[in-house]
Amino acid sequence: MHTFLVMALGQMLNGLEASEALDLAALACEVGDGAPQGEVCSTVLGILELRERQVAVGVYDDRPARFVPGLPMVVLAACVARTPGVRMPCVAEPAMDVGERAA
C-alpha cells in the first residue's frame, strides 16, 4: 500500500492525475476482516475517501497549479501506512470495507 501511495505522490508532484496508483493503494487495503493491519488500512481508506470528497467540493482550488488537488492527504495516507505502530488519526469510517473481496 505504501509503495502505491508513494508512486501516486510522484505522479501528483509532476502534475499528473494518479487515480490508478490511488486505486491500487485502496485495493491493497483489502486485507480481510481481523487482519492485524486492519486499523491502518481502514485509516488509509478513510483518508483517501476524505481526499476525494475535498477535491469534489473544491477545497484545493487555491493550490499551486503544478500540483494535483489533494496532494497533502496522500502525503498523510503514506505517513500513516509507513508508521503503523503509532496512534492512528481520527477519520470517519471509510465507505469501503477492509474485508477481502469475494471471488
Query: Residue 59 belongs to what domain range?
Result: 2-82
Is 9 inside any structural domain? yes
Is 45 inside any structural domain? yes
Taking the whole predicted model, whether its pTM rises above 0.95 is answered as no
pLDDT at 103: 47
Is 30 inside any structural domain? yes
DSSP for the chain, please give it. -HHHHHHHHHHHHTT---HHHHHHHHHHT---TT-TTHHHHHHHHHHHHHHHHHHHHTTTTTS-TTS-TTHHHHHHHHHHHH-TTSPPP--PPPSS-SSPPP-
Domain count, the chain: 1
Is 20 inside any structural domain? yes
pLDDT at 71: 92
- pLDDT digits (tens), the chain, 103 positions: 999 999 999 999 998 999 999 999 999 998 887 888 888 999 999 999 999 999 999 888 888 878 889 999 999 999 999 998 887 777 766 666 656 555 4
Is 23 inside any structural domain? yes
